Structure 1
Amino acid sequence: MSSILFEIDQQVATITLNRPDKLNSFNREMALLMQDKLDACKDEQVRCVCITGSGKAFSAGQDLAEVTDPEGPGMQRILSEHYNPIITRIRNLEKPVVAAVNGVAAGAGANIALCCDLVIAASSASFIQAFSKIGLIPDSGGTYFLPRLIGWQKASALMMMGEKITAADAEKAGMIYKVAEDTAFTEQIKQTTSYLAAMPTKGLAYTKKVLSLSFSNTLDQQLLAEDDYQQKSAQTEDYKEGVNAFLEKRKPSFKGK
C-alpha cells in the first residue's frame, strides 16, 4: 500500500500520511511522494487541500531507522530533499491548506502541521517538539513558525523541555485554529474544507501571500503589498461575483477565478 493516499472530492484534495504501523513517520519514499502530491494540488480543480494521517497518529516525524542507517540518505539530504521542499510547497501553494491533526504530531510531523494555513485537531491529539530528547534542534520550519504563533518564551520552553501539549492547550495558546471532539472531528474537517473550497480561491491565495510577506516587511512595505494584492484581487471574477451577489441580496457562487 502506498505511503501517501491522495484523493480529490468536490474540489478538496486530501493527502493522507499512510504508514500507520510506524505512526506515519517519514522515510524518503513518503517524503518524496508527498511532494509529488502537493504539486498535483496546483490543478485548478483543487480549491482546498487537507493533510491528515491514517490510524492513530498524524505523524511521529522522522523515521529514526532511516536516519541512523549507514546506507540511508543522511541528515543533510533528509532536510534539504525531504522536509524543506514540503514546507516551501505548502507555503507557496496558492490555496488554503488545512492540517487535520487526528492524533499525535511530533517533531517534523508537528511542524508540517503548524506551517499550514489552518490547523484543526481532534481532542485526543497532541503536539510535541521531540527534537531535544535526542539532542537535535527543531527543523521543518519549527523555529520559524512556532515562536510567531505562540511567542518566544513559550516556544523556547516547548522546544527545550520537549513537553507534550494537548490539543486543547494548543488552541488556548494560539498554536492551532480549533479543537473538535473526536466524534465530531471528521465532520468538522469536511465542513471547514468544503467551506474554503467554495470561497474566492484567488483572494485566499493573495491573503496567504500577504500574510507571509508580513513576517519580513516593515509597515510601509506591508501597506504597499496590501495595495498591490488588493488591486489584483479586484481584478478577479470572484470579486465581481461577490459584489453583485451583495447588491442583489443573494448567495454568491464563486468559481475560484
Structure 2
Amino acid sequence: MRYDTIRYDLAENIATVVMNRPQVMNALNTQMRAEITDAVTRGGKEARVVVLTGEGRAFCSGQDLGDGGNAASLDLERTLRDEYVPMLMAIADCPVPTIAAVNGAAAGAGANLALCADVVIAAESATFTQAFTRIGLIPDAGGTWLLPRQVGLAKAMGAALFAERIAAADAARWGMIWEAMPDDGFAEGWRARARHLAQGPTAAYARVKQALRDSSSNTLEEQLSLEARLQGECGKTRDFREGVVAFLEKRPARYEGR
C-alpha cells in the first residue's frame, strides 16, 4: 500500500509509524485509518517492535469530522465497525510489542488509539482528553473498555463525563500510561525504550501480551493453566536457552526473537 497520510520507517528492528497530517493535528480520516492498519500489520511482520507517533504538535486529535462531508452525514456505527475496529485490533493483536509515543495532544479517538498500544510513553506536555461528550457522543475506539481497566471506574467515569484534559504526569500517576518524559528528552527516550524491546525476547513478549490480556476474563485456575502452557512454550525457545547461558556466563543476552 502507498502511504500518503503516514510515514513508515524500519530501522534497528523498529517499525515507526508516524501520523502525518499535522495541518489538522493528525485527525483520523478513512485513508489514515486504512494506512495505519496496513502499516501496523506490516510492522508486526518486519520488525520486533512497532511505534506509533505523530508529526507536529499533536499526537492525534481524533476523528476528522470533515472527512467525507459534514458531521451530520457521518455514519458513525459503520465507521467504527469497518474502519476503527480493524485498526485497533491490528494494534492489540500485533505479535510484537507496540508503543504509542505521544508527542502532544491526544484527544477523542486519538487518545484511545494511544491507549490501545501495549506501552504508552508521553511527553510531559502531552495531554489526553476523552472529548466525546463535548459533541454529544460517548467514548469510542475502545475507550469504554480500556479506561475502566486502566484507571478504575471512578476515574474513567469522570474522564468521560467531564471531558477534561488529563496531563501526561497525571495519566502516569493514574496508571493510564507507562511514563511521562521531559519534552527535551522525549524523542531519544522513547527510541531507547523501543530499542530495548527490539533487542529482547520477542517470543516471550508475545506470550506476556496474551497472558495479561486474557487475565481479566479468566478465573485464577484458568489463568494458572494458561501460564503453565505459555511458560512451557517459552521454555522451548532459543531465547530461553540463550538467556540462561548468558546469565550463567554473566554477559548480556543476545536474543533473536525465536
Short-chain TM bin: over 0.9
Is 1:35 the counterpart of 2:31? The answer is no
Moved more, 60-69 or 154-163: 60-69
| Structure 2 counterparts to residues 1-257 of structure 1, below 5 A | 2-43=4-45, 45-66=46-67, 69=70, 74-257=75-258
CA displacement at 1:67 relative to structure 2: 6.5
Corresponding letter in the other structure for 1:161? F
Q: How many residues align?
A: 256
CA displacement at 1:72 relative to structure 2: 6.6
Corresponding letter in the other structure for 1:226? E
- Using a 3 Å threshold, how does the CA distance of structure 1 residues 241 and 197 change in structure 2: closer, same or farther? same
CA displacement at 1:89 relative to structure 2: 1.0
- Using a 3 Å threshold, how does the CA distance of structure 1 residues 19 and 122 change in structure 2: closer, same or farther? same
Paired residues of 1:126 and 1:164 also in contact (CA < 8 A): yes
* Distance of 1:115 and 1:38 partners within structure 2: 12
* Distance of 2:97 and 2:106 partners within structure 1: 20
**Please, which runs of 5 or more residues in structure 1 have no aligned partner?**
none
Corresponding letter in the other structure for 1:207? V
Paired residues of 1:7 and 1:15 also in contact (CA < 8 A): yes
CA displacement at 1:185 relative to structure 2: 0.2
Paired residues of 1:67 and 1:75 also in contact (CA < 8 A): no
Paired residues of 2:65 and 2:71 also in contact (CA < 8 A): no
The Cα offsets for residues 58-113 of structure 1, whole Å up to 9 and x where unpaired, read as: 00000011265389762122101221111111111111100000000001100011
Moved more, 80-89 or 130-139: 80-89
* Distance of 2:35 and 2:78 partners within structure 1: 15
- Using a 3 Å threshold, how does the CA distance of structure 1 residues 146 and 180 change in structure 2: closer, same or farther? same
- Using a 3 Å threshold, how does the CA distance of structure 1 residues 134 and 70 change in structure 2: closer, same or farther? closer
TM-score under structure 2 length normalisation: 0.96
* Distance of 2:191 and 2:23 partners within structure 1: 25
Corresponding letter in the other structure for 2:22? P
TM-score under structure 1 length normalisation: 0.96
Corresponding letter in the other structure for 1:82? E
Paired residues of 2:44 and 2:50 also in contact (CA < 8 A): no
The Cα offsets for residues 20-60 of structure 1, whole Å up to 9 and x where unpaired, read as: 000000000110111111111132x4001100000000000
Tell me the C-alpha RMSD between the 2 structures: 1.5
Paired residues of 1:120 and 1:178 also in contact (CA < 8 A): yes
